[in-house]
């Protein structure tokens, strides 16, 4: 421990190359044996089975690396990250970095689950259908909605599903041509704007009142028109502030003929406290990989579960799992269904974990999850209030719920140290870089902690002490913060490259092309 009581962390530094730079021509992980002569003669070559139009003209540029080198490569990479299970992950506001009970992983490995195949007849999968059905009943109770689907593979996918249902609804009513606008707020998750835009809507954003941080109801009244298709909104918004006028927002949209979709990705502070139904929403979505303890999986298997009132339930993706009192069914008979948004039934492993989690909790403990989350946030706010350079956005506003947006504008003005600098320096004390906030930065130099129910008082204290220590460093020796991280697997990188379309590359091919100077332009 250092003098400030903080851990002296140091990551493994492997200077690991990208896998495309490893190995050599002809190197193989597995030498696949040739088929026997007789078989070759009878069935011909494997290639002859591929239709000519589907054949690649050139071989795929796959890495050619031996097995031990591959194993070493990925283990080294894993040692260069600060994952959820290694550190106090309070900094990732809006992500609800909750502990995923390890015992639930055992359930996923049971052959009764692991060996299921999505093509099986429903008679042979009654068990998993029962779990899905019962979990949908839990979700209905939690939200007040009437039916659920678990097909969308993530949060934004769930929001997109809602946008598609809004679109289909107006199409069925013959008003789609006229109703081409979705209203959202700038502090809602950006997917509440991006998803309807992907579904071909125009998006109108409302800005917050500079005093309260809440979206302005008068601005909403000015925004609605005969073009309004619906409202897609987060509450509490990405500031942790709950909009107490939400019922009125919903009413205004309903009166204008639109539908209202509630983005409940950040639902961790609302279990047993507030529901979509009582606010009047027509539909909502929850991220099962957030408040319901299933892991995020790094953009991997997640679930944006979508619920609707029965009036909209005909628009849900098919199939929906139903129960007739003795058997469970896959119901494809939905008159206005938007169709499938993903193959098969969704990432059911997230549902199995969440089912186990909810069963383990029960209603009273679920409410306690939210109460703990709110208490943790407000405890963190209290601790943070004595840190020099940190201010809370919208200080006059009421209590924060699941998260809180702070600003380091004062620190930047005093010392030149930015929120990105502080985020990088935190790594040197074994805490992963925090999430500043979504764009645009309405709150300057932001950071957005979410100390959900997972974290103990000691965890929160440590996290705040790291911020305090780094801010003190900023006043004494700003260079050490600006040039951080010093103890991590990689050092500070030039962020301009990340923002420059001529430089950044999402694929190896793009990297090769751009680094040879054949960029856009």
Partner 1 sequence: MRKKLGLIVNPIAGMGGSVGLKGTDGEEILRKARQLGAAPTAHTRAVEALRELSALKGSIELFTYPHDMGEEEAKECSFNPVVIGSIQRGKTSAADTKNAAREMLTRGVDLLLFAGGDGTARDIYEAVGDRLPVIGVPAGVKIHSGVFAINPRTAGQLAVSYLRGEVATSEAEVMDIDEEAFRQNRISARLYGYLKIPHDEQLVQNVKVGSVPGEHESMQAIAWEVIDNMQDDYLYIIGPGTTTKAIMKELQLSYTLLGVDVIQQKQPVALDANEARLLELIEGKKAKIIVSVIGGQGYIFGRGNQQISPRVIRKVGKDNIIIVATESKIAALKGMPLLVDTGDREVDEMLKGYSKMVTGYGRSAVYRVA
Q: Which residues bind partner 1 (CB under 8 A)?
A: 186, 190, 193, 197, 201-210, 216, 218-220, 222-223, 412-413, 416, 418-420, 435-442, 444-445, 479, 494-496, 498-499, 501, 504
Q: Are 461 and 380 in contact (CB under 8 A)?
A: no
Check if the beta carbon of residue 206 is closer than 8 Å to that of residue 220: yes
Least Å from the CB of residue 204 to partner 1: 5
Cβ of residue 412: shortest distance to partner 1, in angstroms?
8
Tokens encoding 328: 């469970």
Closest CB 194 distance from partner 1, rounded Å = 9
Q: How far apart are CA 494 and CA 498, in angstroms?
A: 8
Q: Tell me the closest approach of the beta carbon of residue 94 to partner 1, in angstroms.
A: 11
Give residues with Cβ within 8 angstroms of 358, minimum separation 6: 135, 138, 292, 366
Q: Please, which residues have CB within 8 angstroms of residue 486's CB and are 6 or more apart in sequence? A: 428, 480
Which is nearer to partner 1, 27 or 200 (by Cβ)? Answer: 200
Taking the least distance from each CB to partner 1, the nearer of 195 and 312 is: 195
Q: How far is CA 359 from CA 71, 278, 318, 422, in A?
A: 38, 24, 26, 40
CB of 9 to partner 1, least distance (A): 21
CB of 289 to partner 1, least distance (A): 18
Q: Smaller CB distance to partner 1: residue 143 or 239?
A: 239
Residue 250, token pair as written in the block = 């919903």
Nearer to partner 1, 1 or 493 (CB): 493
Q: How far is the CB of 78 from partner 1 (least distance, A)?
A: 21
Question: How far is it, in rounded angstroms, from Cα 48 to Cα 500?
Answer: 44
8 A C-beta contact, residue 419 and residue 436: yes
CB 61 within 8 A of CB 25: no
Q: Least distance (Å) from partner 1 to the CB of residue 440?
A: 4
Any idea which residue has 């509630």 for tokens? 262
Give the single-character DSSP code of 86. Answer: T
Q: Which is nearer to partner 1, 56 or 439 (CB)?
A: 439
Q: Strand 406-407 to strand 391-392: parallel, antiparallel, or no bridges (unpaired)?
A: antiparallel
Taking the least distance from each CB to partner 1, the nearer of 335 and 439 is 439
Which has the closest alpha carbon to 251: 293, 292, 287, 280?
280
Decide whether 300 or 501 has the Cβ nearer to partner 1: 501
What residues form DSSP beta bridges with 215?
208
Residue with smaller CB distance to partner 1, 221 or 382: 221
């Amino acid at each position: 421990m250092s003098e400030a009581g903080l851990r002296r962390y140091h990551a493994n530094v492997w200077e690991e190359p990208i896998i495309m730079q490893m190995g050599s021509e002809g190197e193989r992980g597995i030498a696949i044996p040739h088929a026997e002569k007789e078989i070759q003669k009878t069935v011909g070559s494997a290639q002859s089975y591929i239709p000519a139009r589907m054949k690649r003209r050139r071989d795929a540029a796959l890495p050619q690396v031996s097995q031990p080198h591959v194993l070493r490569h990925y283990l080294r990479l894993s040692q260069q990250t600060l994952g959820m299970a290694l550190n106090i992950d309070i900094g990732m506001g809006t992500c609800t970095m909750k502990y995923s009970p390890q015992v639930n992983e055992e359930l996923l490995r049971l052959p009764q689950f692991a060996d299921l195949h999505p093509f099986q007849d429903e008679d042979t999968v009654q068990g998993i259908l029962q779990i899905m059905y019962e979990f949908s009943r839990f979700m209905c109770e939690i939200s007040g909605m009437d039916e659920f689907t678990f097909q969308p593979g993530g949060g934004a996918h769930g929001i997109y599903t809602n946008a598609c249902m809004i679109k289909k609804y107006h199409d069925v009513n013959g008003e789609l041509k006229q109703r081409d606008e979705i209203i959202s707020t700038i502090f809602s998750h950006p997917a509440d704007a991006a998803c309807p835009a992907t579904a071909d809507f125009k998006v109108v954003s409302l800005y917050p009142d500079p005093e309260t941080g809440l979206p302005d109801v008068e601005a909403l009244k000015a925004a609605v028109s005969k073009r309004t298709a619906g409202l897609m909104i987060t509450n509490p918004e990405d500031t942790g502030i709950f909009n107490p006028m939400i019922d009125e927002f919903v009413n205004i949209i309903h009166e204008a003929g639109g539908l209202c979709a509630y983005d409940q990705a950040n639902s961790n502070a609302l279990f047993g406290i507030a529901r979509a139904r009582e606010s009047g929403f027509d539909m909502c979505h929850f991220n099962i990989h957030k408040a319901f303890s299933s892991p995020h999986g790094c953009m991997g298997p997640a679930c944006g579960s979508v619920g609707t009132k029965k009036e909209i339930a005909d628009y849900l993706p098919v199939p929906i799992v139903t129960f007739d009192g003795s058997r469970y069914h896959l119901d494809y008979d939905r008159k206005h269904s938007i169709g499938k948004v993903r193959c098969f039934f969704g990432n059911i492993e997230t549902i199995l974990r969440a089912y186990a989690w909810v069963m383990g909790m029960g209603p009273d403990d679920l409410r306690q999850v939210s109460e703990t989350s709110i208490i943790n946030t407000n405890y963190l706010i209290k601790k943070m209030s004595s840190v020099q350079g940190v201010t809370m956005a919208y200080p006059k506003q009421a209590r924060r719920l699941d998260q809180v947006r702070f600003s380091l504008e004062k620190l930047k003005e005093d010392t030149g140290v930015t929120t990105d600098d502080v985020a990088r320096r935190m790594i040197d004390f074994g805490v992963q870089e925090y999430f500043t906030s979504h764009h645009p930065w309405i709150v300057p130099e932001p950071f957005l902690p979410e100390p959900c129910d997972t974290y103990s008082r000691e965890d929160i204290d440590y996290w705040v002490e790291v911020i305090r220590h780094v801010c003190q460093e900023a006043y004494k020796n700003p260079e050490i913060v600006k040039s951080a991280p010093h103890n991590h697997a990689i050092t500070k990188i030039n962020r301009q490259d990340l923002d420059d379309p001529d430089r950044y590359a999402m694929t190896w091919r793009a990297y090769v092309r751009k680094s040879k100077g054949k960029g856009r332009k």
